[in-house]
Structure 1
Amino acid sequence: MLGYRLKFHITLEKWIGKRRGRLSELARRLNVKRQAFRNRIAVYGLSLLEMDRIKVQKFKIERDEKRAIDLLRFMKKWMSKKQGRQIALAQRMGITPFALRQLCNAKKDKRYSILKYGITAVRQAIKEIERNLKIALKYDKS
């Protein structure tokens, strides 16, 4: 049992170290303070129940990271179509258009910063903007 716990802690530390922000995201999802959580990982102080909860949350975080990268690829293409998309999406997200462009052109670990806005919320905002653009184009033609 001790070997399993030690191996789990080592792999968890490696997983957290691979990407900046994973520790904060994991602590947020487990409803614990980040620094206290980090200290418990460092001294191998996690119980088996906590280890199981962490495994589940690790899987969900990895899934969300993949979704975030896919969404950024889509957003980059979508925003290149112009017609006021950048400004509308920036207003919905509560950031400046410049910050939105920086977010879409992000590299490495910065790509995952879209997670704080919520993947589903951003997708929903894009759908609403597209719907409004289609309606506006219909009225513009007539």
Structure 2
Amino acid sequence: MTIRRAAVALAAALTLSVGAGALPAQAVAADPIVKPQRGTINPHKVKWTSAKPYKKGKYLKVTWWSGPQQCYALDHVKVKETRKKVTVTLYEGSVKDNGFCIAIAVKKTTLVKLKAPLGKRKVVDGAK
């Protein structure tokens, strides 16, 4: 990629990220569900912002902030379940050969399947 193309791509990305708030609500796409992809570089714990029961508590929808998917990917999720709580730990790493990455915050969501429905158990972030 030439320097000029990189500059044009960066300008377009910045324009889209700054102007995204001006789009009508129906024009903004819903957050896609991210699936783990093993083999990222330097996977590490990342804090999540919310974990909501889904499908009658058989799953959790876990949301966190990260970078673009082509640069930073969910490597794996660890879940520890007890009678009183469910601990969810997200591990994210850099994508191999990711090339040019822009600094932009991306809201990501993944589905976590539980061994037993959540019920009244507390959900805890394993990265804190």
Q: Which has the higher contact order (CA 8 A, sep 6+)?
A: 2
Q: Which has the higher helix share?
A: 1
Q: Which has the higher strand share?
A: 2
Structure-2-length-normalised TM-score: 0.23
Structure-1-length-normalised TM-score: 0.21
